[in-house]
Amino acid sequence: MPADADDLRGFYERAYAPTADDERHGRWRALSAVAKADHVVRLAASIDRADPGAVAEIGCGDGAVLAELGRRGFGRTRVGFEISTAAAEMSAQRPEIDRAVAFDGDHIPAADGDYDLAFATHVLEHVPDPAPLLREIMRVARAVIVEVPLERNLSARRPAARAASQAAGHLQRFDRAQVRALVTDAGWRIRGEIVDPLALAVHLLDRRTPAAHAKGLAKWAVRRVLAVRPEVGTRLFTVHYALVAIPPDDR
């Protein structure tokens, strides 16, 4: 598990190196990118930023989310920042992305308020100390969207679930209150949120046998029902949680 900045950089350089799982990981990232882009678009619209100018993604990975947003015409300029040089190079090759650069994971190479909107999807759970990075994202943008998995729940305590979380590089196990506190402690206002139990296509990924398909379908159905009551559902299983925040003096 990564413990500091150097470990993080090495971990994610290895994560984006060519492997035998490239094809599956590519499908997973593409599938996840659609849902993440959906959340960004929906939350941006809720604060009247449906057509932002400059958009930045912090922790852009291979650029799948930015590219998906680009295909939808979201953002007139799209820039990615990524701790992994290999991933930044992948992002930079996508035609929908104007620029992608590697950064140190702490200091975003941009001026104050450079971006109309900045977002970080499934990044803060990978960071040893999320608060300083979130404040740095807030420094360079006039609105911020963050998304994380909420893993402080009964299902995520299972040994297999904990092992999978650690293998993915998760250093934080958030609940909804903790994520919201990161934002409000930084002095910003939360203007909207989404609790997503994940789409059916995600639950069915690589479930090729009838039994596996049925299990994935059942898992999706139960989470979908319980997500209607997030105060209950988030205590039982992992969901994705996204919010949008603005500075205190922004109306």
Per-residue pLDDT, averaged over 59-75, amounts to 96
Per-residue pLDDT, averaged over 14-35, amounts to 66
pLDDT of residue 223: 66
Instruction: Indicate whether 207 belongs to any domain.
Output: no
Count CB neighbours of 112 within 10 A.
9
Instruction: Indicate whether 187 belongs to any domain.
Output: yes
Q: Which residues contact 245 (CB under 8 A, 6 or more apart)?
A: 138, 143, 144, 145, 146, 183, 188, 189, 190, 191
Which position has the higher pLDDT, 233 or 134?
134
Instruction: Indicate whether 225 belongs to any domain.
Output: no
pLDDT digits (tens, 9 = 90+) for 147-177: 999 987 666 667 776 777 677 677 888 999 9
Residue 11 DSSP one-character state: H
The residue behind tokens 């029902």 is 225
pLDDT of residue 20: 42
Instruction: Indicate whether 230 belongs to any domain.
Output: no
pLDDT of residue 213: 61
pLDDT at 86 over 60: yes
Q: What is the CATH number of the domain that holds 79?
A: 3.40.50.150
Structure pTM? 0.82
3-state class percentages of the chain: helix first, strand second, coil last, to nearest 5: 45, 20, 35
- φ and ψ at residue 27, rounded to 5 degrees: -65, -40
Q: Report how far residue 251's alpha carbon sits from residue 242's, in angstroms, rounded to the nearest whole number.
A: 21
pLDDT of residue 163: 76
Instruction: Indicate whether 130 belongs to any domain.
Output: yes
Average pLDDT, the chain: 83
Instruction: Indicate whether 156 belongs to any domain.
Output: no
Instruction: Indicate whether 159 belongs to any domain.
Output: no
Instruction: Indicate whether 126 belongs to any domain.
Output: yes
Q: Which residues contact 89 (CB under 8 A, 6 or more apart)?
A: 100
pLDDT tier for residue 250 given thresholds of 50, 70 and 90: confident
Domain span holding position 146 = 5-151+169-198+238-246
pLDDT digits (tens, 9 = 90+) for 204-232: 556 677 776 676 565 656 666 566 566 65
Nearest Cα to Cα of residue 201 among 191, 193, 210, 213 = 213
Q: What does the block give as tokens for 118? A: 């900045």
Query: Total domain count for the chain?
Result: 1
pLDDT digits (tens, 9 = 90+) for 102-152: 999 999 999 999 999 999 999 999 999 999 999 999 999 999 999 999 987
| H helix runs in the chain, sequence order | 5-15, 22-46, 64-71, 85-92, 130-140, 159-167, 176-185, 200-203, 210-226, 230-236
